[in-house]
Amino acid sequence: MKIDLVYNPAAGSFRARRLTRLVEAFAVHGIATRAVPSARDGVQLSGTADLICVHGGDGTLRDTVQALGEQAGSVPLAIAPAGTINLVARELGYQRGPDSWVRSPLYRLGAMPIVSCLSIGPDSHAVATVSGTLKRRIGRYAYVVAMMRLLRRWPRDPLDIRGELADGTPFACTAETAIVSHGALYGGPFRLSGRAALQVDSVELITVERSTRRGALALTAAAMLHLPVDRLGLAAIRTCRRIEFDRCVSPVQVDGDHIPECAYAIGPSGLTLTYCV
């Protein structure tokens, strides 16, 4: 058996010693392992791996899926979490055994895979200004620092959004904050929609029509307390198959990373990822 072990040397909790132990553990079982570092220009996979293990966070997983291209639906993925938040790994629950494998329909923003989430609004502005040095020092709390700095000049840029619900019904709305969640979790152990899950063939669109500092704090508090944000009137939630924004916007947050340039439509890719957990 051959494995590509993709790792991100800049990930929040990456340790070279742990990478070495992973390679050694695979070798004990007679598995040929090729360590593949992720880089700004992408991930250079071998093309011959029977399984790909991702030693990083959601962004590293997304880069790996993007490198797989149309092969993303045929090569199983395993995750050894080493990122800052690890939303996909958290949802998978680090279980073991073929009976617990998860098959996850892949959605894309244009040509870019979305493995966990996307956001446009204050959250994406905060991610765009996160200090890499501070992130390595204090992990996820670097996002809190970036959001606190954002309170001085709160961004408000309304978007016209339209698309197709999971049942085929068209919809349209206007929002100053838009979050698209393919997985159950967002920002750590928090759930914004009870219908979101990796194995569901749809995404959850969470929108806030008027994004204010007070509203953002209330939404955060409700998520932390596991309260229904839609029933409290803090956001609207739609289960969607396709989403289109009225224009390309910047910044956009995808899987915890700042994406400076991207497309403006989200939809199913026709591929299904297999997570070995």
Contact 42, 94 (CB under 8 A): no
Q: Which pLDDT value is given to residue 80?
A: 87
Mean pLDDT of the chain: 92
Task: Report CA-CA distances (Å) from 121 to 155, 178, 182.
Answer: 7, 7, 18
Could you tell me which residue, 96 or 241, shows the higher pLDDT? 241
Q: Which pLDDT value is given to residue 139?
A: 81
Measured CA to CA, the distance from residue 240 to residue 117 in angstroms comes to 14
Measured CA to CA, the distance from residue 12 to residue 133 in angstroms comes to 10
DSSP states of 8-44: -TTSTT--HHHHHHHHHHHHHTT-EEEEEE-BTTB--
Cis-peptide, bond into residue 251, ω within 30° of zero: yes
Task: Report CA-CA distances (Å) from 243 to 73, 82, 105, 213.
Answer: 22, 31, 16, 26
Q: What is the mean pLDDT of residues 93-120?
A: 87
Contact 164, 205 (CB under 8 A): no
Q: Look up residue 266 and give its amino acid.
A: I
Measured CA to CA, the distance from residue 212 to residue 195 in angstroms comes to 26
Q: Which has the minimum average pLDDT: 62-76, 130-144, 166-180, 225-239? A: 130-144
Could you tell me which residue, 248 or 150, shows the higher pLDDT? 150
Q: Which pLDDT value is given to residue 195?
A: 95
Q: Which has the minimum average pLDDT: 53-62, 129-138, 214-223? A: 129-138
Q: Which has the minimum average pLDDT: 76-85, 106-115, 153-162, 224-233? A: 76-85
Q: Which pLDDT value is given to residue 94?
A: 65
Task: Report CA-CA distances (Å) from 166 to 44, 113, 116, 151, 213.
Answer: 35, 19, 18, 35, 31
Q: What is the mean pLDDT of residues 10-34?
A: 86
**Residue 11: is its pLDDT beyond 90?**
no
Measured CA to CA, the distance from residue 115 to residue 107 in angstroms comes to 7
CA atoms within 13 A on the CB side of 233: 0
Q: Which pLDDT value is given to residue 245?
A: 95
Q: Which pLDDT value is given to residue 97?
A: 59
Q: What is the mean pLDDT of residues 51-66?
A: 94
pTM: 0.92
Q: Which pLDDT value is given to residue 84?
A: 85
Q: Which pLDDT value is given to residue 91?
A: 93
Q: Which pLDDT value is given to residue 250?
A: 84
Residues 59-103 have pLDDT tens digits of 999 999 999 999 999 999 999 888 888 999 999 986 555 667 899
**Residue 34: is its pLDDT beyond 70?**
yes
3-class DSSP state of 149: helix
Q: Look up residue 251 and give its amino acid.
A: P
